[in-house]
Amino acid sequence: AQKITQTQPGMFVQEKEAVTLDCTYDTSDQSYGLFWYKQPSSGEMIFLIYQGSYDEQNATEGRYSLNFQKARKSANLVISASQLGDSAMYFCAMSGIIQGAQKLVFGQGTRLTINP
């Protein structure tokens, strides 16, 4: 079975600092995907970044980068130059193929608070 672990229930960071949100995963699949989503207080899940298990380079999307360490089974999200609008819940998720269909498994989330 696939499992995602986010060990940081909450994090507090000063504006403009970089922040790393931890995510470790467990799977026996060879092919899988790792995702990060942002959930602001409005509730909508906003897709941030994706990393495929066979991708050799770490994914980047603007201020977001994914630090993928396959041997350690970790997929940490790095946000550079944090902004007040980055305050939200962040979820790490893993995608795998189960019975011919894609399924996403989510971690418990990390609440990030950016202080001015």
Partner 1 sequence: DGGITQSPKYLFRKEGQNVTLSCEQNLNHDAMYWYRQDPGQGLRLIYYSQIVNDFQKGDIAEGYSVSREKKESFPLTVTSAQKNPTAFYLCASSISGLGVDTQYFGPGTRLTVL
Rounded Cα distance, 93 and 111, in Å: 15
User: Per CB under 8 A, does 90 bind partner 1?
Assistant: no
Smallest Cα–Cα separation from 5: which of 107, 110, 105, 90? Answer: 107
Q: Which of residues 12-71 bind partner 1 (CB under 8 A)?
A: 31-33, 35, 37, 42-47, 50, 52
Is residue 100 a contact point for partner 1 (CB under 8 A)?
A: yes
Q: Of the two residues 71 and 101, which places its CB atom closer to partner 1 in the complex? A: 101
**CB distance 40 to 88 below 8 Å:** yes
What are the structure tokens assigned to 3, written together? Answer: 């499992």
DSSP string, 91-116: EEEEEEEETTEEEEEE---EEEEEE-
Q: CB under 8 A: which stretch of 19-27, 58-66, 76-84, 97-105 binds partner 1?
A: 97-105
Residue list 63-82, contact with partner 1 (CB under 8 A): none
| Residues at the contact surface with partner 1, assessed by CB under 8 A | 4, 31-33, 35, 37, 42-47, 50, 52, 91, 93, 95-97, 99-104, 106-109
